[in-house]
Structure 1
Amino acid sequence: MSQPVLSLKNVNVYQDNNAVITDINLEVFPGEFIYIIGKTGSGKSSFMKTLYGDLKLKQGEGTFVDYDLATLKERNIPYLRRKIGIVFQDFKLLPDRNVYDNLLFVLKATGWSEKREMDVKINEVLDKVGMKNAVYKMPHQISGGEQQRVAVARALLNDPEVIIADEPTGNLDPQTSVEVMQLLKEINQNGKTIIMATHDYALLMKFPSKTLKCDSGTLFEVVQRTV
């Protein structure tokens, strides 16, 4: 059996000094697609932030893409993030530069320097998400769904082991949400592990997968009813 990409034992997730989820025991293996669901304020985002180093793991044991979250030093957070891709609800594209320069910015920030290699990589990830024709467009010139596709492309730049998607369809209409989900599912079928927080239950029904729920300070697996 392969090693888990994420392993949490007796973990408590804190927001400030309040434990928002307690006693998490979880293993996620390569190639899995995991939903994290729960009401607003139930701790989903705090859970995700703990994985990518925005919140410190104060209690319990956790390893994520071979990094020990409990002993993670500030200086090592960028290296952890090179091994994961993050997709946010609000796209987080830089509004003052075009699609190409948005992706170039990330590559330079993560240590790339060869112009030709960067060009090839940018073309490759935009091709994967069907956005090659938008390479020189500004974010405001493309739709919300297209911006999110570019955000997914950005998450793929460093060929991450895991993609963390925090409410990636939260700002999109239902049809566009389905298109973005189809894209994420395709990426998952090509071998990428995806952990996705969502409160869009319609998507869960349409694209069923292993589901964990944050509720009353706990995180537990729920079995989806099939109609």
Structure 2
Amino acid sequence: MAEAILTLQDAAIYQENNRVLNNVNLEVKRGEFLYLIGKTGAGKSSFLKTLYGDLSLLEGEGSIVEYDLKKLKEKDIPYLRRKLGVVFQDFKLLPDRNIHENLLFVLKATGWKEKAEMNLKIEEVLDKVGMKMQAHKMPHQISGGEQQRVAIARALLNDPELILADEPTGNLDPQTSVEIMNVLKNINENGKTILMATHDYALIMKFPSKTLKVEDGTIFEVVQRTV
């Protein structure tokens, strides 16, 4: 049986002093692909921020990639984030350097030293998202969909155990969104666990998978209607 990569028990999620979510009980198994849906402002981003250490878990129990979220210290956060890949809606590429240099910056920041190893790793992750030939280009020279592919490649650099994607298709047109979903699904089929926040219901219908809903201050699994 697949082991749990993320568990929460009776957890409350706070944004500053406001309780955003309450009584969250959740288990994500290694290798799963899950959607996290809910209206804007329902608490999806606060939930994800708690998972990657941006917000503290103040109530309840939580464990992610073998880190205890309740006991997480400031000094642990960089190590936690090496085991997580985070993909944002707005790509967050550094505009003053090319694609290869963007990824090199992340590797250096996370402790890589060997130049040949770094170059090899960058080539490998760009190849996985179909961007190997664009490594010399600047972010402004490629499309939004291509920038998101690079952002996914960046999330793969440290071979994460879990990828958290926060509205990764939010700024993209429908066709490009489908292309990005195909990239993410392919990564999932190769063994990576993915938790993706979205409110693109067309995508969920096209790529059905286990779905969690954030509503009325808590999170629960919803069963998708099949036509």
The TM-score, its normalising length taken from structure 2, stands at: 0.99
Could you say what secondary structure the match of 2:118 adopts? helix
Deviation at 1:18, TM superposition (A): 1.0
- Give the structure 2 partner of residue 51 of structure 1: 51
- What corresponds to 2:209 in structure 1? 209
1:151 is aligned to 151
Structure 1 position 2, deviation (Å): 3.3
Give the equivalent residue in structure 2 for 1:87.
87
Matched residue SS, 2:177: helix
SS at 2:4 equivalent: coil
Q: Distance in 2 between matches of 1:2 and 1:202?
A: 29
Equivalent in the alignment of 1:108? 108
Distance 1:182 1:188 in 2: 10
Question: Which amino acid in the other structure matches residue 109 of structure 2?
Answer: A
- CA–CA separation in structure 1 for the residues paired with 2:3 and 2:225: 30
Task: Kindly indicate whether residue 2 of structure 2 is the aligned counterpart of residue 19 of structure 1.
Answer: no
**CA–CA distance in structure 1, aligned partners of residues 39 and 127 of structure 2:** 35
| Secondary structure of residue in 2 paired with 1:26 | strand
Corresponding position of 1:167:
167
Separation in 1, partners of 2:193, 2:45: 18
The residue aligned with 1:128 is 128
The runs of at least 4 aligned residues of structure 1 exceeding 6 Å deviation read none
Q: How big is each residue's C-alpha offset from its partner over 1:142-185, in whole Å with a ceiling of 9 and x where there is no partner?
A: 00000000000000000100100000000000000000001000
Unaligned runs of 5+ in 1: none
Distance 2:28 2:10 in 1: 15
Letter in structure 1 aligned against 2:14: Y
Q: Percent identity?
A: 74
d(CA) in 1 for partners of 2:3 and 2:179?
31
- TM-score (norm. length: structure 1): 0.99
Which residue in the other structure is 1:10 paired with?
A: 10
Listed one character per residue, the Cα deviations across residues 107-126 of structure 1 (whole Å, up to 9, x for unaligned) are 00000010000000000000
Letter in 2 for 1:75: K
Q: Please give the alpha-carbon distance, in whole angstroms, between the structure 2 residues aligned to 1:174 and 1:59.
A: 39
1:56-71 correspondence to structure 2 within 5 Å? 56-71=56-71
Q: Secondary structure at the match of 1:5?
A: strand
Q: Between Structure 1 and Structure 2, how many residues are aligned?
A: 227
Q: Secondary structure at the match of 2:7?
A: strand
CA deviations over 1:69-107 (Å, ceiling 9, x no partner): 001000110000000100000000000000000000000
SS at 2:90 equivalent: coil
Give the equivalent residue in structure 2 for 1:141.
Answer: 141
| Root mean square deviation of aligned Cα | 0.5
**Matches of 2:121 and 2:215, distance apart in 1:** 40
**Residue 191 of structure 1: aligned partner:** 191
Question: Take 1:101 and 1:193, find their aligned partners in 2: how far apart are those partners?
Answer: 27
Residue 77 of structure 1 aligns with which residue?
Answer: 77
* Structure 1 position 214, deviation (Å): 0.5
Stretches of structure 2 that go unaligned for 5 or more consecutive residues are none
